[in-house]
Every structure is written in structure tokens, then in C-alpha cells.
Structure 1
Amino acid sequence: MQSLINYRSFILAFFMMFAMVTLQSCASLGYEDIDTTRKAIVVANAEVRAANFLLQDLIARRAISKKDAGRALQSLQTAKNNLQSALNAVDVSGDPVLAGSKLERANISISVALRLLAPLVEN
């Protein structure tokens, strides 16, 4: 059971780091290409949702206490909301500047969640 929890903790951290890399890659290319920005948002959103699912699974298995992981869950929810706002900015208004701002906020939220979870998943 402990090896399964360790594996899921590793995958959780992997999804969050991969979402950050996706958003940083998009930032380095600039947000002017709406199609590339949209694809990065969709990929990062899927990664954040997967991380959220795994974190809730670890809480359900009592591998991580809900009290300790609460702020990380909140940060992941903030990231999801920012990603959705960025997607709306791209789809509705086609505004790459607003999308870029929301993507940077999402990246910060993911980073905060990762830092909060680091001591909890090291065990």
C-alpha cells in the first residue's frame, strides 16, 4: 500500500511540474499565436485536473490529511479557475495579453500548491 501511495505522490508532483513547464513554454514563445496558446491552456488544464484528482485520491486513502492538503487543493482550484479565464480570453475576445496574465497567475498557483505538498509527499 505504501508503494502505491509513493507512486501516486510522485505522479501528482509530475503532473503539477509538467503543467508549469507547459505554461512556461507558452510564455517563452509569447502569447501572440492564439492557436498555440489555446493548446497550451487545454494541456495545462488537463494536467491540473489530473493533479487535483490524485490529490483528492491521496486524501481519501488517508495518505495525506485534508487539513494539511487543504491549501494545496485551494491553490489547484485557483489554477483551474485562472486557466478557464485564460481559455475564455482566447476563445471569446482573442486577447493574448489577458490570457498571458491569467496563465502567469495559474503558474504561480501551481507552484504554490507544489511547494505546499512537497513536505507532505516526501514521506
Structure 2
Amino acid sequence: MKESNKVNVNPVISMCPICKNDLRVAKLHCDHCHTSIEGSFTLSKFNYMESEKLYFIEIFVKNRGNIKAIEKELNISYPTVKKMLDDVIIALGYTPETVDDEVEKEEPRVSKASILEKIERGELSVADALGLLKKK
């Protein structure tokens, strides 16, 4: 596989801008030898994902799935990382497994005062704070 660091300035669109149905690839072309292949080719599941989800996957892989590192790099909370991961799992056509009580207990509980202080310092969004408070 040829390695490329080029930025994709014209990514393949996956949805018809007119009727909003899925598109398929009908022609492939090599810029080097000018070979063209016509047919009906499918796109991967990733081509149908929003750019926000693709970016999250990139950060997730870059950080080898380390949620603490993802939280820090994206400046988001643990519940937000988990929700984004669940959204990606769903977009890939799977059902996220529910977390059992033992794993749920491993997440540190934060006091209401601590949550408010983090909001005030800009370390936590109001939406993330609500997520934390709902768990209490």
C-alpha cells in the first residue's frame, strides 16, 4: 500500500446532494498511467461517517484508545469521550455494549462543588457537567 501524507482536498462525498441517498463510485482513474476503470464500486463504512466522527477515530487511534489522553487532547470529559465512542460504534452498524456496574464504579465520582468549580475555570462544559450530575 502506498503511503501518502497528502491532505485530501476533495474527499469523496457519500450522499447525493439532490436526493440524499447513498452514492456509489462508478469510475476509478490513475493519474500516473491514465488507466481508467468503470464499474460499480462500494465505499467503506467510514466514507459514510461525518468528519467529526472520523476526527474522533483518528485521535482515538493516535492515543491507542487511552481515554485520559483523548480527554486531554480534545479537552472533553470522560462521559463525552464515551458518548462519542458509542456514536462511532453505532455509525459502524454495531450496538455499543452496556457497561457493567463494576466498571461503572471505577469512574471517579466528583462532588457538585468540584463540578461547579471546573465550569467556572472553563475546564468543563455545562453539557458535560449535566452528564456528571445525572450519574449521581
Q: Same fold (TM over 0.5)?
A: no
Higher relative contact order (CA 8 A, sep 6+): 1
**Between Structure 1 and Structure 2, whose CA radius of gyration is higher?**
2
TM value normalised by structure 1: 0.30
TM-score for the superposition, normalised by structure 2: 0.28
Higher share in helix: 1
